[in-house]
Structure 1
């Protein structure tokens, strides 16, 4: 089957032992939490029962937080370090240490854009407290930290192959795990709960990856790992070295323990006033015109996101306490907002071009020489 071949090839290329293909990255997160319920019972970790908490980054695509909601877990939003965009281990440790009642049952932390979370340390902390750990690897294709591949460090890794990702099948996902004994359960959960090997009965639906998507995925991952991965981290390093000498622009903080840097998007932080701009949105428009690549602001922090609205789903009103606890406004995220106000991301395809760092430097110089950057026109309202 194409799906089995895609899983085997992905595990081989990424350096993992176990991988299960699924319909998409969002479902990968939900399926990991479903399998985590079984893993927790078998290993003595905290049960993932309704109403318990899941620690989640406050700067991520909304699906990272939506998945715990789907399992009736309360997403507790953690702030990020604005120097990297990811949650620090110390932040996870502080939240678990202060959890006097032991209500936190899972930790779901994404690698983001071109920086990796310190998953080795975070997974270690989670093991210490008896909490399931999940690394959201939607941006982490090819990444490795401390000599360990992304997706193989925490209890579970979840992957997206959606159209914008470094590896895409148009749509698709993968669940990976460091636990050989839970693989049959993951496969069972993706196939309507059918008995598979040592799986136990578990109410589930159809979350399988289609054969056509699997075939596309196989071709795309070969191109990424064989042709693009040898190039893109070096281009990113050259770009960040160029940025280090620029006025009004800074790169994200370096990560010395990361062996293979992830390259979903390059990120640069700007001082808009240095270019006569009011906002980074204005700079995005100008840089897009000069570079001819997608230039975009980062995700909206989840406490101020149009898409992450737990209260908008009636299913999340099953308990007044749950609804109140899931309110994203409860969780201040100053680091996430600082990064959102100052940073822009550049599409990962740009990093296939070794000339991109020079083009970027030339574009920044042209912006500075041209004078004030015009503001975006206001939207017309009727």
Structure 2
């Protein structure tokens, strides 16, 4: 069978669902109302940002929320509000987006990059324990691809060493760990509303936390050093303007009503693909990266696949795209990024992350929103490409 890359017929010629999806009626009504009101900024007296933060905090199982311009700034603000600063160290996983590290640098702290579990690719508690020093101030678990990091051992380790826990939940809207929402399991959790995320306003982020003092400190960081309930031109500490707008909040608030249905749809597609992969001619050639222990609801922002068969990675990516089934290469290990190490980041040995960078590929969220019956397209394209012999 000739690959589409070499002139053959592609497996799929119809487009995949687009992301973000079209506005629904509730979004359209709320956005129009905000636009017509003229109350576009978060400080003009509108209520949509406040309603969004309150609703999102409830869904995260905590009392407090702060909406911000993006999740990178949210991670920075959470760290600063929890007292992390110059000279401190923050432990982060090697297999994550670069913003997990740059937010630490923005706070003046040192990212300490450690390895992930070789199976589920989430932050390894063992690696964290080995990396703790007298300068360690915080640990940043990442709920990768929509599944929950194994939080109980990480929280226990943090408690033993007196560390803050900031959850990077940028990809995990609606995910749960042992029945509890992610984001509210540590001292602070940060979600992203960037264009590719499960809820999006093009850009944006939201911080949730359970402690009142932490909330007030983080709020101050995001609001130019003001104090909650204090004078408008009173700035007892240094802060920044990191606020979300009412227009962005109007896109996001109605999304909470349909988020669970969209998660169910993505999980149904992933289940169907797992069944299809089990019937590939080479059994076990491609498998789903397993969920970490304790994940009770995977929001499936991405589906991570481990390619166990020998194949040239560049050929795989190019051939799959030509077959009408584009897949992504995934993250390079953070410790290999010279820009981070040049800024002072410290990288521990990360063989599991390096192996993942060679063998793991991603199926995009938009593709997971298709009819589960179309999961067969992905399996068929993989079988075709893996069977190719130059």
Is the pair's TM-score, using the shorter chain for normalization, greater than 0.5? yes
Which structure 2 residues correspond to residues 220-369 of structure 1 after superposition, within 5 A?
220-225=255-260, 227-246=261-280, 247=282, 248-255=285-292, 257-271=294-308, 273=310, 277-279=311-313, 281-292=314-325, 294-305=326-337, 308-311=339-342, 316=343, 323=344, 326=345, 328=346, 330-353=347-370, 354-369=372-387
TM-score normalised to structure 1 length: 0.82
Distance between the aligned counterparts of 2:279 and 2:268, measured in 1? Answer: 18
Of 87, 95, 99, which residue of structure 2 is paired with 1:59?
95
Which structure 2 residues correspond to residues 1-382 of structure 1 after superposition, within 5 A?
1-37=47-83, 48-96=84-132, 99=133, 102-197=134-229, 201-225=236-260, 227-246=261-280, 247=282, 248-255=285-292, 257-271=294-308, 273=310, 277-279=311-313, 281-292=314-325, 294-305=326-337, 308-311=339-342, 316=343, 323=344, 326=345, 328=346, 330-353=347-370, 354-369=372-387, 371-372=388-389
Distance between the aligned counterparts of 1:335 and 1:10, measured in 2? Answer: 34
CA shift in 2, pair 1:116/1:242, >3 Å: farther
Contact kept, 8 Å, 1:87 with 1:109, in 2: the verdict is yes
Contact kept, 8 Å, 1:14 with 1:141, in 2: the verdict is no
* Shift, 1:256, TM fit: 5.1
Distance between the aligned counterparts of 1:208 and 1:283, measured in 2? Answer: 42
CA shift in 2, pair 1:114/1:183, >3 Å: closer
CA shift in 2, pair 1:304/1:23, >3 Å: same
Contact kept, 8 Å, 2:170 with 2:190, in 1: the verdict is yes
CA shift in 2, pair 1:368/1:20, >3 Å: same
* Shift, 1:9, TM fit: 2.4
The 3-state SS of whatever aligns with 1:250 is strand
Structure 2 unaligned regions, length at least 5: 1-46
The 3-state SS of whatever aligns with 2:191 is strand
Distance between the aligned counterparts of 1:30 and 1:356, measured in 2? Answer: 40
CA shift in 2, pair 1:288/1:88, >3 Å: same
Contact kept, 8 Å, 1:54 with 1:105, in 2: the verdict is yes
CA shift in 2, pair 1:242/1:91, >3 Å: farther
1:43 matched residue in structure 2: none
Contact kept, 8 Å, 1:88 with 1:117, in 2: the verdict is no
* Shift, 1:239, TM fit: 2.3
The 3-state SS of whatever aligns with 2:49 is helix
RMSD of Structure 2 on Structure 1 (CA): 2.3
Greater length-normalized contact order (CA 8 Å, ≥ 6 residues apart): 2
CA shift in 2, pair 1:6/1:340, >3 Å: same
CA deviation vs aligned residue, 1:304-362 (integer Å, no higher than 9, x gap): 236x4352xxxx5xxxxxx4xx3x5x432211110010111011122222224322222
The 3-state SS of whatever aligns with 1:259 is strand
TM-score normalised to structure 2 length: 0.80
Contact kept, 8 Å, 1:169 with 1:216, in 2: the verdict is yes
CA shift in 2, pair 1:120/1:197, >3 Å: farther
CA deviation vs aligned residue, 1:27-46 (integer Å, no higher than 9, x gap): 00000011111xxxxxxxxx
* Shift, 1:23, TM fit: 0.7
Aligned residues: 337
Contact kept, 8 Å, 2:82 with 2:217, in 1: the verdict is no
CA deviation vs aligned residue, 1:78-113 (integer Å, no higher than 9, x gap): 0112311111222222323xx3xx211111121112
* Shift, 1:197, TM fit: 4.1
* Shift, 1:156, TM fit: 0.8
